[in-house]
Structure 1
Amino acid sequence: MTVADVQQWVGVGAMGVWLIATIVVVRTAWSAGRRPPLGILIGSGVGAGLFAAYGGIVDAVADPGPSAALDVPVLHWMVGHRSAPANAVMIQVSDLGGTLGMTVLTALGAAVLLWRRRIPDAVVVLVAGAGAGVLVSGFKNLNARLRPPVATQLVAEQTFALPSGHALTSTVVVGILAVVAAGMIRSTAARLGVGAVAAAVILAIGVSRLYLGVHWLTDVLAGWLLGGAWLALCLTALTAVRTRRAARVPEQAAPAEPGVLS
């Protein structure tokens, strides 16, 4: 069994464990006359599902499937549609999603949250950012996939390709800051605006890596999926912390705070 097969089966196993756990938790809650923790169940389910999808991408790369068949055509299309102005823009966008850019964004976001005395939010932001870095390094070395040919690369890259670190880290850092920020906003329109901007930034960073010729399409897809899985788990943990804290406060004194996964 290859490393790709192991990751695929771990993803399938995670979905199975989540399904069984969800059934048990829901039945137990109903038997006790309580509401099941839907936010936690949904968040963990999304995380398991995204990891399973990531495992499918990795397996398609190891045993070439339909999704991996798009790698070469997408790379050729990107190379064939380059221009000097677009090159400059894409390099800047890519730099934003790099280690330095995401580290600075994580630190600034955590600092603002600490200043606002939102300690759990700040801690989760820091843990999410640090965890993203560990995932990038660990899974790149685990998969050990080579990057596209040097001749197609507009910037030099020396590390392995799968998953895209820029795609993974931006999904986690931009995503968690957007969700936390949206939880501090009461306007639905403003929340949707924050989400749209975050999605556009994450998409642009991933596309920039394809445009620069330093990643295959499946690298970027894997980065988004694995990053999304970690993001979902971090948000689930934050939801669990908030739920536990709210349970300690008398119902009449509990503050009306928007939920993380609402």
Structure 2
Amino acid sequence: MIIKPKLQFFSAIIAFSLFIGLLIGVVSQAQWLNNLNLAGQQLIQHRSIFADAFFTTITHLGSVIVTSTLTLLLSLVFIVRRQFRLLRFLLVNVVLFAGVITQLVKYLVRNPRPMPQLISENGYSFPSGHTMIAILLYGTLIIIIQAHLQKQLLKQLATSICFALIIIIPISRIYVNVHYPSDILAGLTLGYSLLIMSQNIFHIGGQHA
């Protein structure tokens, strides 16, 4: 996520434009979006005992309990080390963007979840809250790790784990059928654009490190 500022800005604009396109598709109940969702579900939802156990476990890594606990622990570390800029960066991304903004969009769009579900989930579908928290929490960690962790091997390992979670948590939401693929893509694109905006506001990573 450490890329040239102009390219970074351009990628965020593209991501947000894609989110707007998905939003319009959901609101208008476009056929192309239905086709996209069906194709994504058919690609991912190949059920087996192992896959059921794996994805139902992975999906909890984006739950409120897990992410709240991790956010609290990270916040305490930043407070003890007096790294208040990193603290603000984390809290804006997780609490404001992944929390408040996600719920606001869900309430305004009010798109129902798919059925039947492998695990029980309530509330609205668009965008995926787990996907938003995945990219905004674990994406925040990637940016901080890249900017502040010195040991290359540890940096690469931690970055790879966070990146894997950004990918696998959203996939798990489609697998357990609590979100449509369009919900996942909306969470990724909106989350990414907000993350890049926040990174530039707080001057974390890249040429600001």
TM over 0.5: yes
Contact 1:51–1:229 (CA<8 Å) still a contact in 2? Answer: yes
Matches within 5 A, 1:227-238: 227-238=191-202
**Counterpart amino acid of 2:129?**
G
Alpha-carbon distance between aligned partners in 2 of 1:169 and 1:141, rounded to the nearest angstrom: 17
Higher Cα Rg: structure 1 or 2?
Answer: 1
Matched, 1:260 2:208: no
The number of equivalent residue pairs is 202
> Structure 1 residues 138 and 121, CA, compared in 2 at 3 Å: closer, same or farther?
same
- Equivalent residue number for residue 162 of structure 2: 198
CA–CA separation in structure 1 for the residues paired with 2:33 and 2:152 = 36
2:12 to 47, 55, 80: 47
C-alpha deviation, 1:93, in angstroms: 0.9
Q: Counterpart of 1:142?
A: 108
Match of 1:26 in 2: none
Give the fraction of aligned pairs with identical amino acids, expressed as a percent: 25
Take 2:193 and 2:64, find their aligned partners in 1: how far apart are those partners?
20
Letter in 2 for 1:102: T
* Residue of 184, 188, 202 corresponding to 2:148: 184
Alignment match, 1:72: 38
Deviation at 1:101, TM superposition (A): 1.3
Give 1:229 shift: 1.3
CA contact (8 A) 1:105 1:173 kept: no
Question: For the Cα contact (< 8 Å) 2:106–2:126, is it kept in 1?
Answer: yes
Offset from partner CA, 1:20-42 (integer Å, 9 cap, x none): xxxxxxxxxxxxxxxxxx74x66
The question of whether the paired residues in 1 share the 8 Å contact of 2:44 and 2:171 is answered with: no
Task: Tell me the C-alpha RMSD between the 2 structures.
Answer: 2.1
Q: Does structure 1 residue 217 correspond to structure 2 residue 178?
A: no
Relative to the length of structure 1, the TM-score reads 0.70
Q: What per-residue deviation string (whole Å, max 9, x for no partner) do you get for residues 187-239 of structure 1? A: 55654443332221111100000110111100000011111111111111111
With 107-116 and 155-164 compared, the bigger mean Cα shift is at 107-116
**Residue 113 of structure 1 pairs with residue 58 of structure 2:** no
* CA displacement at 1:75 relative to structure 2: 2.1
Q: Is 1:58 aligned to 2:23, yes or no?
A: yes
**Contact 2:102–2:129 (CA<8 Å) still a contact in 1?**
yes
1:181–1:77 distance in 2 versus 1, CA, 3 Å: closer
> 8 Å contact 2:145–2:159 — kept in the other structure?
no
TM-aligned CA deviation for residue 76 of structure 1: 3.8
- Structure 1 Cα separation of the partners of residues 102 and 152 of structure 2: 34
Letter of the 1:110 partner, please give it.
Answer: S
**Gap regions ≥5 residues in structure 2:** none
TM (norm. structure 2) is 0.86
Greater shift, 70-79 or 213-222, is seen at: 70-79
In the alignment, structure 1 residue 125 sits paired with structure 2 residue 101: no
- For each residue in 1:43-75, what CA deviation from the matched residue of structure 2 results, as whole angstroms up to 9, or x when unmatched? 555433322111012223335254541212332
For the pair 1:171 / 2:135, whether they are aligned, the reply is yes
Residue type matched to 2:125 in 1? A
Q: Which runs of 5+ in 1 are unaligned?
A: 1-37, 240-258
Give the direction of change, closer, same or farther, for the CA distance of 1:187–1:65 in structure 2 (3 Å limit): farther
Per-residue deviation at 1:138? 0.5
